Structure 1
Amino acid sequence: MRRYAVAYLTPSQEIKELARPAPAISAFEDAFAAFGRGTIFETEFGPTAVEDLLPGDKVMTQDAGLQVLKWVGRMTLIPDFTRQSPEMGKLTRVTADRFGLGKPMHDLVLGPRARMLYKSPSCQVRLGIDGASVPLRGFIDGVTIFEVTPVTPVKTFHLCFDKHHTLVANGILLESFHPGRTSDLALSIEMQQLYLSLFPQIKRVEDFGPMKYPRLSAEELDSVRAA
């Protein structure tokens, strides 16, 4: 089990918070382990670190300009927690300019569930699409992108809006939270109810809306990059 904490915007524009334990499984962890402290997003007030964002803030998206942040999720990543998948005890460091000049602008530390927008001619050739959402961990090469094991427990975060968006974080394109297809969650009815209780702003998984881009697994990314 893990303790997950959320802050969300109510219909009356109030900020409320809640925290509760839930299983340490991918369906839940995906919603809380994307961004490390110090990840910078552009907002209506200028560059802001993820840990300082609040529901109601307007955050710049790549696809739709400024959008109102509706939900912030956070959890504690514990490096020596035994009952977890190995990557959940590690952060991912992306060195400056890894994806081009200013992408990122400086070293960026992300959580194990971060996903980025990947655009490549091979996506069009192999999949018939111009881009896809892929696990950032799929680019780990041990040199310009590598795992970091924190010395002590650290906070990780995720952000959710009314719709699925592409965010600009330190100059690279990362996705806002979306659970994917309902079938991908692989949760029982009882567990799905617990899951939805962490998103008080919605009533059912379908309320997250459509995904902005299709998703690829790390293995599928390798196949596309090899094309």
Structure 2
Amino acid sequence: MQIVPVHIAEQLRVIHGANTGDVMSFADEMILDDVYEIAKIAPRQRLSIELTDHGLVISNGGDLGTIGHSLFLDCVITLMGSDGTTIEALIIVETNTHGLCEQVYVLPFSNLLPSVEYTLVKVCRDSAENRFAEIGCVSFVKGTRITIASGAMVAIEDLKVGDRVITRDRGVQVIRWIGNSTVRAVGDFAPVVIKAGALHNLNDLTVSPEHRLFIYQRSDKLGTGRAETLVRAKHLINGTDVVRLDDGFVEYYQLLFDEHQIIYAEGIAAESMLFDQRTQTVVPQDQKSNFTQHTSSY
């Protein structure tokens, strides 16, 4: 299950163009060069998404939609702001049991501002699944040092497929695939920085917000009922020694093994990429057959 912060369609309306007055919709109803504006009061709300054997559905834990309704990843749109910014957003469509549209959700990868007019400059259906998968891929930022079999710590960008890495529970494991992408470090999807010393790490560790870290706690401050637990990086943010890196662009790396692993990054135990129905879209088509679906034991 994953919870993503979205706007509902009614919060974004066309103020100039062919569809003037209409709310945000799916690709078939969009027209390029229409100009959108977000409502002055338009807080994002939580959409809880679960991957099932029948695809994506709305699950418990969110504020929106009907539990069990299907979700369709329609397209990725590109908006050009009157302030010169470019923002991409994923359009997600909720459908009822009859396959009819119930609601359209907008998941922007940067913050939309009420004082800015946004012109629709691109609609891409082909990249929706990949962009959604990128949100769920646990990623390390360029420069992160990974502990290899010799005990040395090597910058992630210097690792190669076939290199051997120390894992927490399964000894030494071989890297099977390395992913790399550059994304905007803005808003809810900006990476999280665990500053040196925060978790007994010698250097800063910067990871994607959904990345889970293996935490040891002397007292149950996190309320998990156990001393060792996996915690998403975004839930560790405290504004002091764990903060968001909300600026510019960031270069991400993903490490994939034969199985889901806990490895060591800057001395902190952190999960590797989980290869499943959702995240497999980021792996090149000609390499997918080399892997079987991971079942996380963590």
TM bracket (short chain): 0.5 to 0.7
Contact 2:165 / 2:173 at 8 angstroms: preserved in 1? Answer: yes
Contact 2:185 / 2:191 at 8 angstroms: preserved in 1? Answer: no
TM, length-normalised to structure 1:
0.63
Shift of 1:139: 0.4
Q: Equivalent residue for 2:188?
A: 87
> Where do residues 65-80 of structure 1 align in structure 2 (5 Å cutoff)?
65-79=171-185
Deviation per CA, 1:98-136: give whole Å up to 9, x if none.
Answer: 12xxx211222222332112345649x856x66443211
Contact 1:196 / 1:203 at 8 angstroms: preserved in 2? Answer: no
> Where do residues 34-113 of structure 1 align in structure 2 (5 Å cutoff)?
34-44=139-149, 46-79=152-185, 86-88=187-189, 90-99=190-199, 103-113=200-210
> Where do residues 149-188 of structure 1 align in structure 2 (5 Å cutoff)?
149-151=246-248, 153-179=249-275, 185=278
The secondary structure found in structure 2 opposite 1:208 is: coil
Q: Please state which structure has a larger fraction of its residues in strand.
A: 2
Q: Distance in 2 between matches of 1:198 and 1:42?
A: 29
Q: Equivalent residue for 1:220?
A: none
Contact 1:202 / 1:208 at 8 angstroms: preserved in 2? Answer: no
Shift of 1:154: 2.3
Q: Distance in 2 between matches of 1:38 and 1:126?
A: 31
Shift of 1:200: 2.0
Name the amino acid aligned to 1:150. D
Inter-CA distance 24–173: structure 2 relative to 1 (3 Å threshold):
same
Inter-CA distance 24–194: structure 2 relative to 1 (3 Å threshold):
closer
Shift of 1:174: 0.4
Name the amino acid aligned to 2:179. G
Inter-CA distance 111–195: structure 2 relative to 1 (3 Å threshold):
closer
Q: Equivalent residue for 1:217?
A: none
Q: Distance in 1 between matches of 2:196 and 2:149?
A: 25
Q: Equivalent residue for 2:231?
A: 134
Unaligned runs of 5+ in 1: 3-19, 81-85, 186-191, 214-227
Q: Distance in 2 between matches of 1:118 and 1:21?
A: 35
2:245 matched to 1:144? no
Inter-CA distance 66–158: structure 2 relative to 1 (3 Å threshold):
same
The higher-RCO structure (CA 8 Å, 6+ apart) is 1
Contact 1:27 / 1:179 at 8 angstroms: preserved in 2? Answer: no
Q: Please state which structure has a larger fraction of its residues in helix.
A: 1
Q: Distance in 1 between matches of 2:197 and 2:254?
A: 23
Deviation per CA, 1:147-192: give whole Å up to 9, x if none.
Answer: 11233x2211111101111111111110011156x5xx4xxxxxx8
Q: Distance in 2 between matches of 1:199 and 1:59?
A: 24
Contact 1:162 / 1:208 at 8 angstroms: preserved in 2? Answer: no
Contact 2:130 / 2:282 at 8 angstroms: preserved in 1? Answer: no
Amino-acid identity (%): 23
Name the amino acid aligned to 1:117. F
Q: Distance in 1 between matches of 2:267 and 2:166?
A: 12
Rg comparison, structure with higher value: 2
The secondary structure found in structure 1 opposite 2:165 is: strand
How many residue pairs get aligned? The number is 173
2:278 matched to 1:211? no
Question: Which residue of 277, 284, 287 corresponds with 1:200?
Answer: 287
Q: Equivalent residue for 2:47?
A: none
